[in-house]
Each structure stands twice: as structure tokens, then as C-alpha cells.
Amino acid sequence: MPQVEAFLEMLAAERGAARNTLAAYAADLEDFAAFVRARGMAVHAADADTLRAWVEGLAAAGFAARTQARRLSAIRQFHRFLAREGIRPDDPTELLESPRLPASLPRALSEAEVESLIAAAAALPGRRGPVAAAAVELLYCSGLRASELVSLPAGALRETEGQVAVRGKEPEEDTPEP
């Protein structure tokens, strides 16, 4: 497939793609080419319906949404290359929707990572060290967001009680339905 070879050569020469990236793209394009050939088309002539069917086939085969999205990204870049090079007049991937990726959950810090953060904050010069260490400790033990911490008013610190007063969001008033 000369178009695929030209695309991979462009990735290597112009974008400096790593060997593993090139291997992954080559495998994705080979899989796509086999799918398209089974439908009697050349890889560079695939239309949007064929592309959509290929993506649906990935989902039906049980590939994770991230894998589907990565493979579709390779095919999109290939078709943009074909359009830029004048091999085809359009890019049939423009109207394709990417698979919905699940929201990734934040990773909790280990105890050692938290201790390291506090120590690094405390090591700041002058008065900034103790203040930064207290801020990191407050973030860690309270669950506050950084934006919530920095927007706390000075009056929130209750020095004599050793506490910080944090107010949550004000509840929305119930408005009767018209």
C-alpha cells in the first residue's frame, strides 16, 4: 500500500515519530486496510460509512474506548495526509465522532508523596515555608480544592481555636414551578 508507506515515511521524517509510534500506526492502518479490502475498496478510497462501520466493529470486538479513539486518531491523520497530498479530494473522517472516553478518576497520593510535598513546601525560604506547609496540610486533610483554599478570607482562620471555618456552597432556593 504505497499511500500507507508514504504516510509512515512522512511521520518519521517530518514529525520524528518514534519507532513504537510508527509500529502502532502501521498495525492500525493494516487492520483498517484489511477491513476496507473486505468491502472491495482501496484503503485510500474509503468513505465515511465504511469508516463508521470500522469504528463500530472495534466496539463490537470489545476494544476499550481509549483504544478505539487511538486507532481512529491514526486513521484520521492518514486521511488528512491523503487530502493534503491531493490523493483524495476530501477527508471522510471529518464528520466521525470519537468514542466517548470514560472520565478518569484522579489518583490518590501516597503517604510518602504527601510527606514529600509538605517537606518541600516547608523548605521554602522565610515565612513562605511555614505558610506553604500549612496550606498543603490543609488541602490534604480538608479536601478543599486549591481554588477554595486561596479564596478563603483571612477571617476564616480561627487562631484561638486552632480551626479554619470553611463554608460550603449556599443552597439554591426552591422556586415554585409556574
Q: What is the pLDDT of residues 1-14, one digit of tens each?
A: 788 899 999 989 98
Which of 77-91, 138-152, 161-175 is the least confident region?
161-175
Instruction: Tell me the average pLDDT across 43-47.
Output: 89
Kindly report the three-state secondary structure assignment for every residue of the chain.
Answer: CHHHHHHHHHHHHHCCCCHHHHHHHHHHHHHHHHHHHHCCCCHHHCCHHHHHHHHHHHHHCCCCHHHHHHHHHHHHHHHHHHHHCCCCCCCCCCCCCCCCCCCCCCCCCCHHHHHHHHHHHHCCCCCHHHHHHHHHHHHHHHCCCHHHHHCCCHHHEECCCCEECCCCCCCCCCCCCC
Q: What is the pLDDT of residues 82-94, one digit of tens each?
A: 999 999 999 998 8
pLDDT band for position 105 (cuts 50, 70, 90)? confident
Residues in contact with 107: Cβ distance below 8 Å, sequence separation at least 6, in sequence order: none
What does the domain layout of the chain look like in residue ranges?
Answer: 2-84, 111-164
Q: What is the mean pLDDT of the chain?
A: 86
Instruction: Tell me the average pLDDT across 66-76.
Output: 90
Q: What is the pTM of this model?
A: 0.57
pLDDT band for position 163 (cuts 50, 70, 90)? confident
pLDDT band for position 173 (cuts 50, 70, 90)? low
Q: Which residues pair with 158 in a beta bridge?
A: 163
